[in-house]
Amino acid sequence: LGASLKSALQKLANAGKVDKEVIDEVVKDIQRAMIQADVNVKLVMRLSGRIRERALTEAPPPGMDSREHVLRIVYAELVNIIGKATPVALEPQTIMMVGLQGSGKTTTTAKLARYFARKGLKPAVICADTYRPGAYDQLSQLCAKLGVTFYGERDNKDAVAIVRNGLRETAKYDVRIVDTAGRHALETGLIKEMKDIAALANFTHRFLVLDAAIGQQASEQAKAFNDAVGITGVIITKLDGTAKGGGALSAVSDTNTSIAFIGVGETPEGLERFDPDGFISRLLGMGDLKALVEKANEVLSQKDVNVEKMMSGRFTLNDMYAQLEAINKMGPLKQIMSMLPLGGLGANITDDVYKMTQDKLLSYRIIMDSMTEAEKEDPKLIGSSRIMRIARGSGRSPEDVRELLKYHKMMQKAMKGMKGGPGRANLKKLMK
């Protein structure tokens, strides 16, 4: 057997099959990590329920131990919620920013203007925050620094009127971004203002800006803003800090949206398109999650298991024994075979093989201990006189020795059977 297949088998053997205890342990770790990352408790429970169920019912892919298998499911379930980054087209559009005060709307407005400018689109920014003193100056100064067109009315308190005027004045610009006011808390005045502004134009995007540190309230906020204006995407700010942004998960899940950008700094350069893999790894504090998933795909595509080499190489008694030993540790052979990339091999093996018992393995070991290395490497050397010698040495009957040799021959034939004909075609299919 190829060394890599052996080690894959060994790995499976060591980890055992999907094991309830291991799964419960990993699921608990995941729950802890998610709650620490501010993921909504209800969401954590729902997620971990699904993860547990899948982990217990789905067989791990070949070469993957239980822990890795569970992590892979965790990853898939999180990807399921988070999805891909919100698509943001590089074409003319209007954008409305919503979110509570201090979440980072104004900073992100400037960042977005810069983002589109660098992609060759002409941005203009409209200040609709008539609530916070200094809001006008904050945004106009940011825009001046970036050389971005700014529209605002310093002394007008009517935000809706300002946006109406602003959209008219900036009609020639490609991307128009409206920065709105937030309040410290959700209240009807704020929500009404957001609704009225949203009604002024068919905004391409209504981005909900969330501070990464927002915890359990994320869900409530997301729902309120979504009901008011219909969120098209979430922007999580301040991910350069210690917060992991788990609150955004509930926001995304509750509004059925996705994350468009993340803020990673106070300056206008601190904006990145959302990358689900990086976000999930960070959320769970497991930098290796993506690598793990890649590994799984690699194992599944069989690059790791050198079947060609195994088929062309000699199948010695030692190989056979190692294989039996590994398989024996893992559970019913039929089930294991169906999990392995060599699944097709199962068809070539008679039912006798499946009846392999622990006793038989021990008996084989004892018989093989009376063989020379040369005999184990090349069983063809073993004629009737050697059979008698081995039987005497091991305290077994010559029939027992012959049975072992017969079994080996059958396994070898099964391996060779994969070399040509339909077996090989199946294998090629499996290797895709």
* 110 three-class SS: helix
Distance of CA 375 to the CA centre of its chain: 48
Distance CA 432, CA 427 (A): 9
> Of 16, 61, 102, 346, which lies in the binding site for ligand GDP, with binding defined by CB under 6 A?
102
Q: Which of these segments, 56-64, 160-168, 257-265, 298-306, binds ligand GDP (CB under 6 A)?
A: 257-265
User: Residue 183 interacts with ligand GDP (CB under 6 A)?
Assistant: no
Q: Which of 348, 353, 354, 349 is nearest to 424 (CA)?
A: 348
The answer to whether 104 is annotated as binding is yes
Give the nearer residue to ligand GDP in terms of CB position, either 263 or 341. Answer: 263
Nearest distance from C-beta of residue 179 to ligand GDP, angstroms? 7
Nearest distance from C-beta of residue 165 to ligand GDP, angstroms? 21
The answer to whether 304 is annotated as binding is no
Nearest distance from C-beta of residue 175 to ligand GDP, angstroms? 18
User: Residue 103 interacts with Mg ion (CB under 5 A)?
Assistant: no
Nearest distance from C-beta of residue 135 to Mg ion, angstroms? 5
| Torsion angle of the four alpha carbons 1, 318, 407, 358, in this order, in degrees rounded to the nearest 10 | -110
- For the record, the structure tokens of 127 come out as 């200040």
The answer to whether 319 is annotated as binding is no
Q: How many residues bind Mg ion (CB under 5 A)?
A: 2
Nearest distance from C-beta of residue 178 to Mg ion, angstroms? 12
The answer to whether 314 is annotated as binding is no
Q: Which of these segments, 187-195, 264-272, 319-327, 330-338, binds ligand GDP (CB under 6 A)?
A: 264-272
> Of 106, 219, 226, 253, which lies in the binding site for Mg ion, with binding defined by CB under 5 A?
106
Nearest distance from C-beta of residue 187 to Mg ion, angstroms? 17
> Of 2, 62, 63, 99, which lies in the binding site for ligand GDP, with binding defined by CB under 6 A?
99
Q: In what order do the strands lie in the sheet with 175-180?
A: 149-151, 123-128, 175-180, 93-98, 205-211, 233-237, 259-263, 271-273
Single-letter residue type at 77: E
Q: Which of 340, 318, 342 is nearest to 330 (CA)?
A: 340
Residue with tokens 């992991």: 244
CA distances from 43 to 35, 50, 81, 169 (A): 10, 11, 10, 44
Give the nearer residue to ligand GDP in terms of CB position, either 94 or 107. Answer: 107
What is the C-alpha end-to-end distance of the chain, expressed in Å? 21
User: Residue 107 interacts with ligand GDP (CB under 6 A)?
Assistant: yes
Nearest distance from C-beta of residue 132 to ligand GDP, angstroms? 7
The answer to whether 239 is annotated as binding is yes
The answer to whether 247 is annotated as binding is no
Backbone angles phi, psi at 131, to 5 degrees: -95, -50
User: Residue 105 interacts with ligand GDP (CB under 6 A)?
Assistant: yes
The answer to whether 6 is annotated as binding is no
In sequence order, what DSSP letters do the residues of 126-190 get, joined into one string?
EEE--SSTTHHHHHHHHHHHHT-EEE--TT---HHHHHHHHHHHTTTSSEEEEEEP--SS--HHH
Q: Which of these segments, 30-38, 260-268, 292-300, 378-386, binds ligand GDP (CB under 6 A)?
A: 260-268
Residue with tokens 């050389």: 147
Q: Which of 176, 174, 252 is nearest to 210 (CA)?
A: 252
User: Residue 107 interacts with Mg ion (CB under 5 A)?
Assistant: no
Q: Which of these segments, 7-15, 163-171, 233-241, 391-399, binds ligand GDP (CB under 6 A)?
A: 233-241
Give the nearer residue to Mg ion in terms of CB position, either 105 or 111. Answer: 105
3-state SS, 222-285, equals HHHHHHHHCCCEEEEECCCCCCCCHHHHHHHHHHCCCEEEEECCCCCCCEEECCHHHHHHHHHC
**Contact set with ligand GDP (CB under 6 A):** 99, 101-107, 182, 209, 237-238, 240-241, 263-266, 270
Which residues bind to Mg ion, rule: CB under 5 A? 105-106
For the annotated binding site, the residues are 99-106, 179-183, 237-240
Annotated binding-site positions for GTP? 99-106, 179-183, 237-240
